[in-house]
Amino acid sequence: MRNDADQTPAFDMVLFGGTGDLVMRKLLPSLYQAHAAGLLNKDGRILGLGRKEWDREQYLAYVEEHSRKHIKECFTEADWQQFCDRIEYLRVDAGFPEHFPPLAEKLGEMVPGRSVVCYLSTAPEFFTPICENLAAVGLNHPNVRVVLEKPLGHDLASSNEINDAVAKFFDEHQLYRIDHYLGKESVQNLTAIRFGNALFEPLWRREWVHNVQITISEELGVEGRGGFYDHTGALRDMVQNHLLQLLCIVAMEPPASLEGNAIRDEKLKVLKALRSFDVQDVATKTVRGQYKAGAISGGGVPGYLEEAGIPPTSTTETFVSLKAEIDNWRWAGVPFFLRTGKRMPERLAEIVINFRDVPCPLFPSPVGQTANRLVIRLQPDESIRLYFLAKEPGDTMNLQPAYLNLDFNAMFKVRRADAYERLLLDVIRGRLGLFMRSDELVAAWRWVEPIMHAWEHSTTPPKQYTAGTWGPAASSALLSRDGIAWHEES
């Protein structure tokens, strides 16, 4: 067992919404995995907060029933019991200031080097009262860190309102706006591929890159969350955060260091360089879709309008594709195509870098085949494929596509931390690089807002696509106008 506990300071992990789904399914299992791997300091406590008048034994019984089953690997009864020894419970209702002095008493005096992590696994409307009540009892000292779970608002104004309110009580370096996608091992590898290998850097620019495609697709539908999803949609749920963060990592300049602000400074430059949309751009450079009944994995599934909790006249998008352009020296003229959707053929996240053809080809290219392509797959498996043309065996000089394949699971036979585990450890250690800064959030909302507003005022409904397909035909047409096709179509 690896033991890096000396790298992790003593901590108190305070989980607001401690009986909620996120805590049970993700946070406690992730903390268990870190504990079992020897990554948590022995002097680390986990304090679940909730409205129920429970004692510690009742809370542990609830954890046993609702969280233990979500642990996928490295489970032993001994580790589980040791992990449970870390857990305590306290009744705290975010709306009752009188509940916070007992919390401060429970945590005790500030100890140098010991971090207090307050994870706000609650609805956003509770962020401000929680932060205000924490500050009122002195729990905003420099050792306190606050994790804000998304969604951080539904538009720029509401996002600014939350950030401004929280900033009254905590400094920016104490705020960790979490996007679990940035904690994925594969996303971390994307940064390493870009900046750890001299092979790619000379080619990673407009002179050699023809276009970039970034896709996050899901087989699932709304899965019983219709009421939430219908007020959110794919643009807010996926593009404004996950897809834009991947675009930033692909497009940003090398940071001066791996320090948090150095990385975030470079991502912010990309967001600010994104060309803004006007009404005409939204009409010609974006596609919004909504799935109708179809089949996934051989089984029939209902359309979006037939899902529970969805109004029959809903125009909420379940699919988005768009053409983004970055107005800077490195990427001018290179289109970035972003795509996400529900009820698509497979669960997939990948980045495709299509390089330009050789300037003076000596050989005829195989009909319908594309070479000079780097495919970085982030999920469900993690791999890198470099496609190129090679001579086929025989006495001719005919070329055929070939590829080099790197499968990370096969290459590295070690345990892989999940996204929340890595991010929770980073918060405990005070590492900000994988968390969004407020100015990043503002820039991302500012870029997507013209699209949101145009769609909200449009009388044209979303384009229908059959569940189990790659989206509306208009999505393919979006690329074909530039003489390009999506990776799976070429």
Provide the 3-class DSSP secondary structure of residue 270.
helix
Residue written as tokens 């907060």? 49
H/E stretch holding 266 reads: helix 260-273
76: which residues sit within 8 A by CB, 6+ positions away?
A: 36
Say whether 242 is catalytic: yes
**Could you give the count of Cα atoms lying within 13 Å of 239 in the half-sphere of its Cβ?**
32
**Could you give the count of Cα atoms lying within 13 Å of 176 in the half-sphere of its Cβ?**
28
Question: Which residue among the candidates 35, 180, 210, 242 is catalytic per the annotation?
Answer: 242
List the structure tokens of 2.
């690896």
State the Cα–Cα distance between residues 486 and 338, nearest whole angstrom: 10
Which phi and psi angles does 98 have, rounded to 5°?
A: -70, -10
155 and 163 Cβ atoms separated by less than 8 Å: no
List of long-range contacts for 456-463, beta carbons under 8 Å, 24+ apart: 461/290, 461/315, 462/288, 462/289, 462/290, 462/315, 462/316, 462/317, 462/318, 462/319, 463/287, 463/288, 463/289, 463/290
Catalytic residues: 242
